A and B are shown apart, each in its own frame.
Chain A
Amino acid sequence: MINPAVFTTTFLAAAVEIVEMVIIVVGVGTVRGWRSTLVGAASGLVILAALILALGMALTLVPIGVLRLVVGSLLFVFGLQWLRKGIRRVAANGFRGMGARAATDDDIPTHGMDWTAWLLAFKGVLLEGLEVTIIVVTFGAAARAFPSAALAAAAALVVIGGAGALARRAVERIPRSALQLLVGTLLSAFGTFWAVEGLGIAWPGEDLAIIALAAWYVIAAAAYIGRLRRHARQLTPQDRLVPQEAR
């Protein structure tokens, strides 16, 4: 049985990281050739799948109250981090995609394995995928809906990976900042809900409180984006340098 809330949230969260992963793999593959790049990407995915399975099974053994307090607190803090990044990026750049990533094209071997391409793809998939792994495992375990979370991440990989294979430009245009902002509000809402529940405190309205929390964080994000934009308009042209992390 699929849990729609867990599936949707995990799909969107996974999509944020997978967009970047696909752009790296497509960029490396285009410049350095596809065979080694795809082998590197597949190697990274095998490690991630094994990690998801092992950690997911281990976390089902932890009592649900403790799990929700620990995982909820982690998701709460992590979600607020994404919320901050999303607010800064949307305030600075609007809802545009992240654009192309440069890849180097020096010393490409004409035959055999291109270990640079393998390593670049492997590293890209593993590093970007590690966050997806942690989200899938923690989210799935806290909601006791691990299959829904794992399926959502796999679906995000198929959809965005397929889009990347068919049309690289389409993936580059996905508004990652806006997606990050949306996922930040959802992770913060679920994190707040589970952390407080883990303390043994019941929410008024039970599960409906998650919707209210998400709305609260959306309203706060909209207010902060407006404030940052007003602040940017008031700055002099010399002061109007975009902060490094907002790019």
Chain B
Amino acid sequence: MTISWLNRAATLSLRGLVAFGKFWYGFIIGDDWTVAAAVAAALAVTWLLHTAGVAAWWLPPLVAVAATGASLRRSG
């Protein structure tokens, strides 16, 4: 009795956790994870270039537009 109640509670918690994770994935990443990955990579490279003394503020907007174009091309 107790075990079945615990199993049910665990299943419900897991479902809630999965739904929570899915909401955030859909909200932030959306239908194409490659754009988010490109942005993350661009920010990392920008920071590395900055620490090496290179001004790289131009990189993220450039990568963002290129990644958006590639995403549109794939889905279109």
Report yes or no: A203 in contact with B57, Cβ–Cβ below 8 A. yes
Could you say which interface size class chain B belongs to? Answer: 20 to 34
Interchain CA distance A88-B32 in the complex, whole Å: 14
Q: Which residues of B contact A134 (CB under 8 A)?
A: 27
Interchain CA distance A98-B74 in the complex, whole Å: 25
Report yes or no: A78 in contact with B27, Cβ–Cβ below 8 A. yes
Interchain CA distance A202-B57 in the complex, whole Å: 8
Taking CB atoms and an 8 Å cut-off, the chain A residues in 114-135 that contact chain B are 130-131, 134
Report yes or no: A74 in contact with B72, Cβ–Cβ below 8 A. no
Could you say which interface size class chain A belongs to? Answer: 35 or more
Report yes or no: B65 in contact with A228, Cβ–Cβ below 8 A. no
CB distance from B65 to the nearest CB of A (A): 4
Report yes or no: B57 in contact with A204, Cβ–Cβ below 8 A. yes
Q: In the complex, which residue of chain B has the Cβ closest to the Cβ of A69? A: B43
Q: In the complex, which residue of chain B has the Cβ closest to the Cβ of A83? A: B68
CB distance from B38 to the nearest CB of A (A): 9
A37 at interface by CB-CB < 8 Å = no
B28: contacting residue among A77, A88, A204, A213, CB under 8 A: A77
A245: contacting residue among B31, B40, B57, CB under 8 A: B31
Q: In the complex, which residue of chain B has the Cβ closest to the Cβ of A188? A: B64
Report yes or no: A243 in contact with B56, Cβ–Cβ below 8 A. no
A199 at interface by CB-CB < 8 Å = yes
B61: contacting residue among A73, A87, A216, CB under 8 A: A216
B67: contacting residue among A78, A80, A130, CB under 8 A: A80
- Since A84-B32, A199-B43 are in contact, a sample of 18 more A-B pairs with Cβ atoms closer than 8 Å, ordered by chain A residue number, is A73-B40, A78-B28, A80-B64, A80-B67, A81-B35, A84-B35, A85-B30, A188-B64, A192-B60, A201-B50, A217-B65, A220-B68, A220-B69, A224-B68, A224-B72, A227-B72, A228-B76, A231-B76
> B-contacting residues of A (Cβ < 8 Å)?
73-74, 76-78, 80-81, 83-85, 87-88, 130-131, 134, 188, 192, 195-196, 199-204, 209, 213, 216-217, 220, 224, 227-228, 231, 243, 245
> A-contacting residues of B (Cβ < 8 Å)?
23, 27-32, 35-36, 39-40, 43, 46-47, 50, 55-57, 60-61, 64-65, 67-69, 71-72, 75-76
